């Protein structure tokens, strides 16, 4: 239930919900990976872009005031660390309320190994701000693609999708989602899945952080190279160590390349920018796809 998201003493996830039940919010991992509703002040004001963290210090972002993306890469470390960077992408979705019929949401499975892609059997995902229903037609379409299975075990403890849900609710509303967790999977197989689901009325969100546990100077240098590869739609230029969601980022880039889509940097940063240890940081970027 929603109170589990707020409970500092939560010991761990319960058993996965039965098919058709709503997935409860969870609170896994160390503080840097906590989806804590008390760090949602920006998300609660997202419909009004004047209240959002802005990326005006980035040259690309200055030219994006009216851009409504078809997709985005957004971080998931937790609102206190990566919320500002994530909000820099979501602020462009405020004008898209009512435009998208569903959100295809894909991220890495951090806790339970996945071979291929796991789609949740839940009827919806609970958050502290409300419930997002699962799109039945999208789930059925996903299950027709090889290497996709219905499996809630990886979803139950996972935060990579959950962190995005309040942002979605506050920007485009309670739009049905297709919740996908990817493990080790071929780029072509996952790209086929994205191509099948990423219809003109669907928003695609790839949840991924960048480098992990380098010192801040090394992280910024590594992440700069990673973002350059992303902006050039260079799937082969993304190594597993460049992004925890590399198995989702590479297929996005392959699909964007095939569709000749444009990728634009909205913002980037590290956990050190939010007071984290500069000797051991996590990198973040928000990239818009249009």
Kindly state the average pLDDT of the residues 143-149: 95
Q: What pLDDT, on the 0 to 100 scale, is given for residue 289?
A: 97
Q: What pLDDT, on the 0 to 100 scale, is given for residue 25?
A: 74
* Cα–Cα–Cα angle for 12, 13, 17, rounded to 5 degrees: 170
CA distance 157 to 91: 28
Q: 3-state SS of the chain?
A: CHHHHHCCCCCCCCCCCCCCCEECCCCCCCHHHCCCHHHCHHHHCCCCHHHCCCCCCCCHHHHCCCCCCCEEEECCCCHHHHHHHHHHHHHHHHHHCCCCCEEEEEEECCCCCCECEEECCCCEEEECCEEEEECHHHHHHHHCCCCEEECCCCCCCCCCCHHHHHHHHHHCCCCCEEEEEECECCHHHHHHHHHHHCCCCEEEEEECCCCEEECHHHHHHHHHHHHHHHHCCCHHHCCHHHCCCHHHHHHHHHHHHHCCCCEEEEEEEEHHHHCCCCCCEEEEEEEEEC
Nearest to 162 by CA among 9, 48, 28: 28
CA distance 269 to 100: 28
What share of the chain has pLDDT > 90, as a percent? 72
Q: Can you read off the two tokens belonging to residue 97?
A: 């309320």
In this model, does residue 58 exceed pLDDT 70?
A: no
Kindly report which listed range (27-36, 216-225, 229-238, 264-273) carries the lowest average pLDDT score.
27-36
Kindly report which listed range (29-43, 126-140, 270-284) carries the lowest average pLDDT score.
29-43
Q: Is 209 left (phi over 0), alpha (psi -120 to 50) or beta?
A: beta
Average pLDDT, the chain: 83
In this model, does residue 53 exceed pLDDT 50?
A: no
Q: Is 254 left (phi over 0), alpha (psi -120 to 50) or beta?
A: alpha
Would the pTM of this model clear 0.85, i.e. be above it? no
In this model, does residue 173 exceed pLDDT 50?
A: yes
More confident residue, 142 or 130: 142
């Amino acid at each position: 239930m929603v109170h589990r998201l707020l409970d500092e003493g939560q010991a761990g996830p319960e058993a996965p919900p039965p098919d058709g039940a709503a997935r409860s919010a969870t609170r896994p991992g160390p503080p840097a990976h906590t989806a804590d509703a008390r760090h949602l002040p920006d998300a609660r004001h997202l419909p009004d872009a004047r209240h959002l963290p802005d990326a005006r210090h980035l040259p690309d972002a200055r030219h994006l005031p009216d851009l409504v993306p078809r997709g985005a890469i957004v971080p998931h470390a937790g609102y206190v660390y990566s919320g500002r960077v994530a909000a820099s992408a979501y602020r462009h979705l405020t004008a898209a309320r009512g435009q998208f019929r569903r959100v295809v949401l894909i991220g890495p499975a951090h806790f339970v190994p996945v071979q291929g892609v796991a789609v949740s059997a839940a009827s919806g995902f609970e958050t502290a701000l409300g419930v997002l229903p699962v799109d039945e037609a999208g789930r059925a379409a996903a299950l027709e693609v090889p290497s996709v299975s219905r499996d809630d075990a990886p979803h139950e403890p996972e935060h990579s999708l959950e962190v995005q849900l309040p942002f979605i609710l506050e920007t485009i509303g309670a739009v049905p989602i297709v919740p996908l967790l990817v493990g080790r999977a071929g780029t072509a197989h996952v790209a086929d899945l994205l191509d099948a689901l990423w219809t003109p009325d669907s928003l695609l969100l790839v949840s991924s952080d960048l480098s992990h546990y380098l010192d801040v100077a090394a992280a910024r240098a590594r992440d700069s190279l990673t973002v350059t590869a992303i902006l050039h739609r260079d799937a082969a230029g993304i190594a597993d160590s460049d992004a925890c969601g590399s198995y989702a980022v590479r297929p996005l880039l392959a699909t964007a390349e095939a569709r000749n889509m444009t990728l634009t940097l909205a913002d980037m940063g590290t956990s050190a920018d939010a007071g984290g240890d500069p000797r051991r940081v996590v990198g973040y970027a928000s990239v818009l796809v249009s």
